[in-house]
Amino acid sequence: MSGAHILLVDDEPGIVTALRPALKAAGHTVSVARDGNEAIAGAANLDPDVVLLDLGLPDMDGKEVISRIRRQANTPIIVVSARHQESEKIAALDLGADDYVDKPFVLGILLARIRAAMRRRGGGPAEPPGAFQSGRLTIDFATREVRVDGQPVKLSPKEYNLLAALAESAGQVVTQRRLLAAGWGRSEADPQYLRVYMGLLRQKLEVNPAEPELILTEPGVGYRLAV
């Protein structure tokens, strides 16, 4: 995969200094914004492939930056923040962020999340992909056929809708609200249903449902389909 153009938004000079060489070494080009206004201007003018966004910015809250960027562009936004409260993460995702990574992060994971965001951007939301394939899991969106290790798996319509919603953003966290909307048509449905159905999906898809490797829980936020 070719390198991405990354807009790194952080007001901590130390983090910019530390991250820039790693991103460059991984084949990406890096632009830096030090506050919210620079980030919004950069997202509009530099046309980055991915935005890495810190939430604690000196001039405005990072969440404000997310909604302002979303008004103009569909650029993938990965929140990279030291705020670990679930409410902050959910708010950021609901405002249109694609993913989040906790600070301090493992460098390899951050790079993998950037790759996942790139893949999604490559597919593009305009033309839905005909099929999804990752590891042991294959989904044919046209025939709604799901296979694990080549063996067909029978899913109920709700289970399929949930899995498809996860696969659409494979590798990224999908909030409970989005999953509830995908499965039940109402984002304010009881998250308890979600736990039950994710359990059923794991029964059918995971090698060991007690130690899921495919459908991962993001505690308090949602679920993520591993890629």
Partner 1 sequence: MAAETAEQATVAAAGGSDLTLANLWARVVVPGLMLAFFAEAGLLAKPWLGEGYASLIFVLGITLIGAVAGLMTAVICALLGSLIFNFVIAEPVWQIAFTRHSDFATPAVFIACAVISGLMSGRLRDETRRARTTNRQLQTLLEISRSLQGAETAPAIQAVLRATLARSGAMVPALFQLDQQGLVPVGANPGPAWSELAARAVASVAEMLREGPLVATALSGGHGLVGALVIEGPDDELSVGNFLPALSRVTALALERAELAAAITEAQAQSRAEELKTTLLSSISHDLRTPLTTISTSAASLLAFQGEIDPDTARELLDGIVGECDRLNRLTANLLEMSRLQAGEEALHPAVLPVAEMVRSRVSQLRQHSPGHRFDFTAPDGELHVSADPALFELALGNVLENAVKFSPPDGAIAIACLRREGSCAITVTDTGPGIPRAEQERVFERFYRAADARHGPRGTGLGLAIARGFVKASGGDIAITSPVAEGRGTTLTITLPLAGEDEPEGTDG
By rule CB under 8 A, what count of residues binds partner 1?
Answer: 28
CB 42 within 8 A of CB 53: no
Q: Which of residues 104 and 157 has its CB atom nearest to partner 1 in the complex?
A: 104
* Alpha-carbon span 204 to 159, nearest angstrom: 10
CB of 56 to partner 1, least distance (A): 7
* Alpha-carbon span 37 to 34, nearest angstrom: 8
Q: Which of residues 60 and 189 has its CB atom nearest to partner 1 in the complex?
A: 60
CB of 86 to partner 1, least distance (A): 13
CB of 30 to partner 1, least distance (A): 12
Q: Which of residues 60 and 200 has its CB atom nearest to partner 1 in the complex?
A: 60
**φ, ψ at 50 (rounded to 5°):** -140, 140
Contacts 24+ apart (CB under 8 A), 205-214: 205/137, 205/146, 205/148, 205/153, 205/163, 214/135, 214/136, 214/137
Binding-residue pattern over the window 80 to 119 for partner 1, x denoting contact by CB under 8 A: --xxxx-----------------xxxxxx-----------
CB 188 within 8 A of CB 129: no
Binding-residue pattern over the window 2 to 21 for partner 1, x denoting contact by CB under 8 A: ---------xxxxx-xxx-x
Q: Which of residues 36 and 212 has its CB atom nearest to partner 1 in the complex?
A: 36
DSSP H or E stretch at residue 38: helix 36-45
Q: Which of residues 79 and 180 has its CB atom nearest to partner 1 in the complex?
A: 79
Beta bridge partners of 173: 224
Q: Is 122 in the site for partner 1 (CB under 8 A)?
A: no
Question: SS3 helix, strand, coil % of the chain, rounded to 5?
Answer: 40, 20, 35
Chain residues binding partner 1 by CB under 8 A are 11-15, 17-19, 21-22, 24-26, 34-35, 56, 58-59, 82-85, 103-108
